[in-house]
Amino acid sequence: MSQQLDRADARVSHATGLSGTIKAFLDRVKSGDLGSLPVVVGLAIIWTVFTVLNPIFLSPNNLVNLLFDCSTTGVIALGIVCVLMLGEIDLSVGSMSGVGSAMIGVLWVNQGVPLPVAIGTAVALGALIGAVYATLRNRLGMPSFVSTLSGLLALLGLQLYMLGATGSINLPYGSKMVEFGQLMILPAWMSYTLALIPGIVMLVVGRSTNARRRAANLSAGSSTGLILKAVFTTIALLAIVFYLSLGRGVPWMFALFVALVLAMNYALTRTQWGRSMKAVGGNAEAARRAGINVRGIYISAFMLCSALAALGGVLSAARLASSSQQAGTGDVNLNAIAAAVIGGTSLFGGRGTAFSALLGIIVIQSIANGLTLLNLNSSLRYMITGAVLAIAVIVDSLARQSRASHGRG
């Protein structure tokens, strides 16, 4: 067989077989390319501690509740991943979600606007606010830190204004909206079927990629490794679904969140837009010189972030069955940002994945949930979440230094 295109340099050792794959993974971790490793380890520790302190924590129905709670803030964190990717920040996502929640109450409950229209309006308003932030940044060079901080206050004012004197609007119990937020569960057959899909997609896409790479005289991954990965993923997902089915099952709202994560993951890793996002976050001037519409990228990221924050607010209204002045206040803002960072999206830009929103929010909600089970109030919860965030940022900084010294950008 002729020399493969990407195997001509004798200095590079190439991972072959399973042991090679494991060794390559360890090398990557040592050089500071940690990926989701810290958060998975952290999650294991947190779950172990809480289960020891109170076995109820690991009961299926508690985990189902946990997933319900994850979905609202998780959607907001997904938007945060977009702006962090560019090395920017949106501090107003909490207030934005509060406005989204208030719009459901005002438009749908009070004004009788059809629900889809009300949701669409809330999300569109979010997109509009995001476009304002991006324009302030593009045209006036206003740091997003400042523009979104003023946005935080202005949107909070808008939320209070919309809710008016009563301060709270109850969503009708028994409506589809509230059921979605509190009760609706995927039928068992559907959750099992969905759990099979990732493994199948992995296998099909992986095989066709390997075949194309071989045809193009490039090295291709081993098919054993691919099959092992797919089988492992499928078993893990089936086990999760089985365990949750011992309780109520997989919430629809969580399925929606995961679908958004998967869509975002595809957009960030497999499209030109995602590539441009990473490029702008890594080196905006280089991206501009490569002909990328850098301003457009900023606009898209801020619009997505605020729109997802508004959607998160809509979901939280469904979850709480009300639009209140409390929605989006307190720790929502920080939890959403912390989730993205804890999940492994770098604060320094150019590095992050959609899955960090999923993993990070599970960590944060686990802490909240576990402490509630121990009858500890929010004072302790704030302190612990704060400490976890600090640890996550320290890990991020250390990994960044290590990457710099190992030449991994």
Partner 1 sequence: MSDRSQTRKAPGELLLSLRGISKNFGAVSALTDIDLDIHAGEVVALVGDNGAGKSTLVKVLAGVHQASSGSIEFQGKPVTMASPAAALQLGIATVFQDLALCENLDVVANIFLGQELNPLRLDEVAMEVRAWTLLNELAARIPSVREPIASLSGGQRQTVAIARSLLLNPKIIMLDEPTAALGVAQTAEVLNLVERVRDKGLGVIMISHNMEDVRAVADRIVVLRLGRNNGVFTPDASNQELVGAITGATDNAVSRRADRLREAAGEAI
Residues lying near partner 1 in the complex (CB under 8 A): 5-6, 9, 11-12, 209, 212-213, 216-218, 270-273, 275-276, 278-279, 281-283, 285-293, 350-351, 403-404, 406-409
CB of 272 to partner 1, least distance (A): 4
Q: How far is CA 393 from CA 277, 286, 320, in A?
A: 21, 27, 31
Comparison of 248 and 288: residue with beta carbon closer to partner 1:
288
Comparison of 279 and 308: residue with beta carbon closer to partner 1:
279
CB of 31 to partner 1, least distance (A): 9
Asked if residue 29 lies in contact with residue 349, where contact means CB atoms within 8 angstroms, the answer is no
CA 387 to chain centre: 20
Comparison of 138 and 326: residue with beta carbon closer to partner 1:
138
Comparison of 13 and 378: residue with beta carbon closer to partner 1:
13
Query: Token pair for residue 267?
Result: 């957009």
State whether residue 342 is helix, strand or coil: helix
Closest Cα partner for 125 from 92, 168, 150?
Answer: 92
Cα(187)–Cα(324) distance, rounded to whole angstroms? Answer: 31
CB of 124 to partner 1, least distance (A): 24
Closest Cα partner for 344 from 80, 134, 5?
Answer: 80
Closest Cα partner for 119 from 129, 106, 130?
Answer: 106
Comparison of 218 and 376: residue with beta carbon closer to partner 1:
218
CB of 298 to partner 1, least distance (A): 15
State whether residue 185 is helix, strand or coil: strand
Asked if residue 354 lies in contact with residue 84, where contact means CB atoms within 8 angstroms, the answer is no
CB of 367 to partner 1, least distance (A): 31
CB of 239 to partner 1, least distance (A): 31
Comparison of 207 and 288: residue with beta carbon closer to partner 1:
288
* DSSP structure class, residue 294: H
